Amino acid sequence: MSWKQTLEKVGEAHYVLPRRKTMRCEAHLFLSEALLFGEGVGDGEKEGGVEEAVFGQVVNACSFPGATRVVLTPDCHVGYGVPIGTAIETQGVLLPTAAGYDIGCGMVQLETSLTEAQVADVGKRRRWIEEVVRRIGVGVGQSSGKKVSSKLLPEVLRHGAKALGRGHDVAERACIPVDDDRVDVPKRAWEKRDQLGSLGGGNHFCEMQVDQHGKVWVMLHTGSRGLGWNIAKDFFVRGAEALGLPTRSEDSVWLDAGSSLGRAYWNLHNMAANFAIANRLLIGDAVCEAVELVFGGQARVYYEISHNLIQEEGGRFVARKGATRAFPKAHPALEGTAWEATGHPILIPGSMETGSAILFAEAGAEASLYSVNHGSGRRLSRTQAKRVLDQRETDARMAKKGIVLNSRATPLDESGPCYKDLDAVLGAVEAAGLARVDARLRPLACIKGND
């Protein structure tokens, strides 16, 4: 029997997996029937739906010591230890697996004064790509090419956006508190400090977009780079040793927040998150320069937000793994900010082929731990994509849509068919009353690391 048959529907696009066996709490799944069970394809067969392997990872998430609430967002799919698209609330326990390797990964949206007509010239868009790439590091392991000063880095690790003179109006968390900055950054993480201001590879990107009104935006996706990765790896190893687990047991590591190891992880996790915030803002500044140089318009940071992070909220820890925080209007955390009356923007990338979206939370987001999806969710693994997708057909679709790339060939493992239908995912968010779509963004030019 499929685990899906054990779910209880409690509302529109809202299911509950009851507690069982090792589970310390129930799980709430915010999915439409089509996303959960799959779409009909004839003769009673169905295609898609949430993978059966997600069930074990949901149970794992609910079974950690200290777990009090678990939520799955509409883009959920198999991850490491817990599903991508999960929010977990814990009491007194930190879950490195629920922050993942790319601590603080997230988005920046840049607003421009340009219209679609002003960026219609393909040659100019190609030049814009060249100017952006010249200013930042693109690809796995690449640095920004700029030496990070011994004065700036400690300020960034302690103060995030504040170290760059930015505040809460453009950054979800202008500064993530570091209780004790005397803790040593692991040597391998410290060696990656010059990646500050670099994009990286994989699914990280910089994309020029246009909304439904013809206004041009730029969206960025990246995180804490090698610095965060090596901090995470260090504590996965140390955490497994402390719990007496075998090697490669990242999926099972948990830390008592009050222990010396837990306190060390918390401080370094927050330093990595501050690094990620500053990294995005520095790239944003470089992209704004390129926009103004090539097109003559103005550009500014609209909002910055994370989707791989653990933070204290309401006296407990909330870990979001591939999930975006969604505070609606009048939420206490937004008091005194530019977003108090509307809620803060939620930045949702879809794919380089099908577009992205900006949302604002509704009051119903309280039911999902104030969390929504961080994208549309993968439906094909990278290996599957390279095996089943045709390069010529993919390139032809991108060319027909007029999307300019920094590579000669479209990366198959990041093309449109690799991801779930963004309309379906956003529809589930709205149906569940978690958030509303404010803008839909269509890609015009995309920069990705060629890995």
Q: Which of 77, 159, 269, 374 is catalytic?
A: 374
Quote the Cα angle for 267-232-347, to 5°: 85
Buried b (16+ CB within 10 A) or exposed e, 207-245: bbbbbeeebbbbbbbbbbbbbbbbbbbbbbebbbebeee
Active-site residue, 374 included: yes
Task: Please say whether the beta carbons of 154 and 215 come within 8 A.
Answer: no
- The H helix count followed by the E strand count for the chain is 10, 23
- CA–CA separation, 319 vs 301, rounded Å? 26
- CA–CA separation, 319 vs 308, rounded Å? 8
Which two tokens mark 5? 């048959």
Render 203-216 in DSSP notation, one character per residue. T-EEEEEEETTSEE
Give the H or E element holding residue 346: strand 345-351
Task: Please say whether the beta carbons of 67 and 290 come within 8 A.
Answer: no
Task: Please say whether the beta carbons of 54 and 78 come within 8 A.
Answer: yes
Rg (C-alpha) for the chain, rounded Å, is 21
**CA distances for 287 relative to 108, 109, 261, 283, angstroms:** 11, 11, 39, 6
Residues that are catalytic: 374
